[in-house]
Structure 1
Amino acid sequence: MVEYLRLEQIPDLNRPALVLAFEGWNDAAESASGSLEFLGRTVGARRFAAFDSEEFYSFTETRPMVKLNEDVREIQWPDSHFSYAHREGDGRDLILLRGVEPQLRWRTFSQLVSGVARSAGVDLVVCLGALLAEVPHTQPVRITGTSTDPELTSIVGLEPSRYEGPTGILGVLHQHFKTEGIPCVSIWANVPHYIPAFPNPRATVALLGRVNSLLNLELDLSEFDSRTAEFDEQIRQGLSQNPEVAEYVSELESRVGEEDEPHVVTEDLPSGESLVADLEKFLRSQREDEGKE
């Protein structure tokens, strides 16, 4: 299986924690991948291994992208890669696994991930995900999840998830690490299902906050303040133009505290029940207008 992974060299690390997230089904509103992008940029993570995309992706489902680099046309293939970062003092070093959720060979993929983790001395895995749920954007982001260790559940402050249904690569990896005996915690942000197509900075900050407390990273999240304010204002304007959606949000607000766990949305709403089309159209036009300024 080693031919499926392009590995430069396993770095020498101090008690590394592996933090991972994938674009796609596990990444509502780009909340999890956005968290890992910020984390990698903040700690100065350096790439040291990458998966062979030919083996794990169906290119008719996750298509390669054509990009122009100084007028030279290039193909960018779907990518999942490892990077690492040293931390000062006695803090844990970090390994980050970021990419696009693979379509193929999930068991092989999981074995390769755990192989790298063991070789690097990883003794803690943190899976970041985001799901669409019937929750209002006006409430604090609800964080749910699961852990192989009750102590980790307490440290992160997780509400245990009782979800049953389809799973993604995060669920498979979590179970794989449990079988391998490597402590693993999965942290999921619940994202309002009526605004799924736009990056949600509130959910990203909520995920990063839990990672911060678990790994003592002392991250400065102030750069999200302006993004969050802009996000809130765009939603406010969108709802003012869409009273039907605003009424639906009020209904969701009235349910807060009444249900043990909000309904998880695992597929698109039927067209007859979809309340989001007009709101998303408005938000998209707002972003396009900003891009022209």
Structure 2
Amino acid sequence: MFDPTDLYELADDVPELADPVLLYHFDGFVDAGSTGRLALGHLLAELEHRVVATFDVDRLIDYRSRRPIMTFDTDRWVECESHELIVHIVKDATGTPFLLFSGPEPDVQWELFTRAVGALVKRLGVSRLVTMHGIPMAVPHTRPLGVTVHASRPELISPQASAFGRVQVPGSAAALLEFRLGAEGHDVAGYAVHVPHYLSQAEYPSAAVAALEAITRNTGLVFPMDGLREAAQRTTSEIEEQIQASAELSSAITGLEQQYDAFAAGTDRENLMADSTPMPTGDELAAQFERFLAERDDE
């Protein structure tokens, strides 16, 4: 039996923490709008932080499926962007310390990885784990973003109506952590932000804003949000510009609004796709937005 604590290395000067919250997100699984990546990236860019634990990516990552970027200059290799799976200690806007765990989703040894995180959680005295990501939904960007909340026990979240019943989906390391650690008695919660399906392949800062606001309500942590909200406003303005220039997009968004409103009002509780309204598929809408964004980049 392998010792799970061999999967990570603690920093030499790990401070004593008072029941910290641990936020986590791993790149590689579904993350529509880059919700989780944008949210945690924003926190690391805006808040004071330092490394407290580093996981052994050589044992967890398949380099042939996710090859690190290397730089060749003239006649030699000069740089390698190595994968990093790291736990940081971060201070929120009020000075409250919390932990932030990010990096690529492990390709192998999920069960051993889960036990390693469990050991680290006990070592650092973590009070609650919280994860977030985006999921593509047939919803318009002109309506409030929905959030599917889940937790290891119902007392951790407020009661709410769900857009889902009982479903089976491909697993993820983040979900397995919630499942396994929750079964061991740890408090774990997650937020899946409903991202418009036609924007799922683009960066959508509004979804990251929704995720961090939900985490604040759940944990009491306070984050600097001005920069992220400004990015969300810029993105929304660009989307509106594209919609106004296309009668097809404008009609499609109107159809999504009608079916969303019917779903929210309870007159259509089956799904978030209206069969009676002919609309482009999510891929077709996304392709139009991607062409628009590419044209803006060229300009």
TM-score bracket, shorter-length normalisation:
0.7 to 0.9
Name stretches of at least 5 consecutive residues in structure 1 with no aligned partner. 264-269
* Residue 195 of structure 1: aligned partner: 199
SS at match of 1:274: helix
* Residue 215 of structure 2: aligned partner: 211
Once residues 185 and 191 of structure 1 are traced to their aligned partners in structure 2, the CA distance between those partners, rounded to angstroms, is: 19
- The alpha-carbon distance between structure 1 residues 124 and 242, as it changes in their structure 2 partners (threshold 3 A), is same
- Following TM superposition, by how much is the alpha carbon of 1:284 offset from its aligned partner in structure 2, in angstroms? 2.2
* Alignment check: 8 A CA contact 2:201 2:286 kept: no
Task: Map Cα deviations across residues 13-61 of structure 1 (whole Å, 9 max, x no partner).
Answer: 1111111012222322211111112223333121121212111111222
* Alignment check: 8 A CA contact 1:238 1:279 kept: yes
The answer as to 2:7 corresponding to 1:8 is no
- The alpha-carbon distance between structure 1 residues 96 and 287, as it changes in their structure 2 partners (threshold 3 A), is same
* Alignment check: 8 A CA contact 1:17 1:126 kept: yes
- Following TM superposition, by how much is the alpha carbon of 1:272 offset from its aligned partner in structure 2, in angstroms? 11
Equivalent in 96, 109, 127 of residue 105 of structure 1: 109
SS at match of 2:285: coil
Residues 214-253 of structure 1: matches in 2 within 5 Å?
214-253=218-257
Once residues 202 and 124 of structure 1 are traced to their aligned partners in structure 2, the CA distance between those partners, rounded to angstroms, is: 25
- Following TM superposition, by how much is the alpha carbon of 1:197 offset from its aligned partner in structure 2, in angstroms? 2.3
- The alpha-carbon distance between structure 1 residues 174 and 260, as it changes in their structure 2 partners (threshold 3 A), is farther
* Residue 267 of structure 1: aligned partner: none
* Residue 283 of structure 1: aligned partner: 293
Residues 30-41 of structure 1: matches in 2 within 5 Å?
30-41=34-45
- The alpha-carbon distance between structure 1 residues 31 and 158, as it changes in their structure 2 partners (threshold 3 A), is farther
Please give the root-mean-square deviation of Cα atoms over the aligned residues, in Å.
2.7
- The alpha-carbon distance between structure 1 residues 189 and 158, as it changes in their structure 2 partners (threshold 3 A), is farther
* Residue 141 of structure 2: aligned partner: 137
The answer as to 2:82 corresponding to 1:77 is yes
Task: Map Cα deviations across residues 76-120 of structure 1 (whole Å, 9 max, x no partner).
Answer: 12221101135698x863111011122211111111111111110
TM-score by length of 2: 0.83
- Following TM superposition, by how much is the alpha carbon of 1:143 offset from its aligned partner in structure 2, in angstroms? 0.7
- Following TM superposition, by how much is the alpha carbon of 1:279 offset from its aligned partner in structure 2, in angstroms? 2.0
> Which residue type is aligned with residue 84 of structure 1?
I
> Which residue type is aligned with residue 145 of structure 1?
V
* Alignment check: 8 A CA contact 2:198 2:282 kept: no
Point out the more displaced range, 127-136 or 241-250. Answer: 241-250
Once residues 117 and 271 of structure 2 are traced to their aligned partners in structure 1, the CA distance between those partners, rounded to angstroms, is: 31
The answer as to 2:43 corresponding to 1:43 is no
- Following TM superposition, by how much is the alpha carbon of 1:8 offset from its aligned partner in structure 2, in angstroms? 1.9
Identity %: 23
Residues 243-282 of structure 1: matches in 2 within 5 Å?
243-256=247-260, 257=264, 258-259=268-269, 262=272, 274-282=284-292
SS at match of 2:16: coil
* Alignment check: 8 A CA contact 1:8 1:49 kept: yes
How many aligned positions are there? 279
* Residue 276 of structure 2: aligned partner: none
Once residues 64 and 148 of structure 2 are traced to their aligned partners in structure 1, the CA distance between those partners, rounded to angstroms, is: 33
- The alpha-carbon distance between structure 1 residues 123 and 262, as it changes in their structure 2 partners (threshold 3 A), is farther
Higher gyration radius (CA):
2
> Which residue type is aligned with residue 140 of structure 1?
P
- Following TM superposition, by how much is the alpha carbon of 1:184 offset from its aligned partner in structure 2, in angstroms? 0.7
> Which residue type is aligned with residue 170 of structure 1?
A
* Residue 124 of structure 1: aligned partner: 128
* Alignment check: 8 A CA contact 2:198 2:283 kept: no
Once residues 128 and 73 of structure 1 are traced to their aligned partners in structure 2, the CA distance between those partners, rounded to angstroms, is: 35
Residues 115-194 of structure 1: matches in 2 within 5 Å?
115-154=119-158, 159-160=161-162, 161-162=164-165, 163-194=167-198
Task: Map Cα deviations across residues 237-263 of structure 1 (whole Å, 9 max, x no partner).
Answer: 222344333322222111112336647
Once residues 296 and 58 of structure 2 are traced to their aligned partners in structure 1, the CA distance between those partners, rounded to angstroms, is: 38
